[in-house]
Amino acid sequence: MKYEKTKTVLNQLVADLSQMSMVIHQTHWYMRGANFLKLHPLMDDFMDEINDELDVISERLITLGGSPFSTLGEMIENTGISDEKGDYSKSNQDHFRTLLANYRYLDEVFAKGIEVSDEEKDYCTQDIFIGFKTDIEKKIWMISAELNEAPQLDK
């Protein structure tokens, strides 16, 4: 079968991006405190970006003859992003640290996708992975800056 490793990473991302959307929703819903009026609508932008990426990834998987995960059970069973109960006592900084850790994880999955799509010579999917990895790295930089930290992308 053609592009099997690439399809595996694409489906991993279906699960991970679905879970990441929920993590961002949780941040949006449970956010309180300083900068709420600025940060709350920003989460809408973050959700839109993740959901757009999810659609592109899922459609690419289908184009390659794959079958994207499509149930909540499949998502939770296959995601590498942890599931935490919402908590109003969490500070905005704590929420952003969770987002940052999850974006770093996604960065690693996209890097793996770049690697396997190169190995399988699927340059169209590789282009998608590269573009989304670039977007994720920008998000890592932005969230790190909000936390008054360097992005540490060289690690």
* Domain limits, the chain: 4-80+88-146
Identify the pLDDT of residue 154.
74
Identify the pLDDT of residue 155.
61
Identify the pLDDT of residue 12.
98
Task: Report the C-alpha gap between 138 and 86 in whole angstroms.
Answer: 26
Identify the pLDDT of residue 135.
97
Identify the pLDDT of residue 63.
98
* Concatenated DSSP letters of 35-84: THHHHHHHHHHHHHHHHHHHHHHHHHHHHTT-----SHHHHHHH-SS---
pLDDT along the chain (155 residues), means of 10: 95 98 96 90 96 98 98 96 93 95 98 98 98 97 93 78
Identify the pLDDT of residue 34.
83
Identify the pLDDT of residue 73.
96
Which CATH number is correct for 4-80+88-146, 3.40.309.10, 1.20.1260.10, 1.20.80.30, 3.40.50.300? 1.20.1260.10
Task: Report the C-alpha gap between 78 and 82 in whole angstroms.
Answer: 11
Distances 64 to 8, 10, 11, 68 between C-alpha atoms, Å:
11, 10, 11, 11
Identify the pLDDT of residue 117.
98
What's the burial of 148, exposed, middle or buried (CB within 10 Å: 0-12/13-18/19+)?
exposed
DSSP 90: S
Distances 126 to 18, 44, 74, 83 between C-alpha atoms, Å:
20, 27, 25, 29
In this prediction the pTM is 0.95
Identify the pLDDT of residue 153.
84
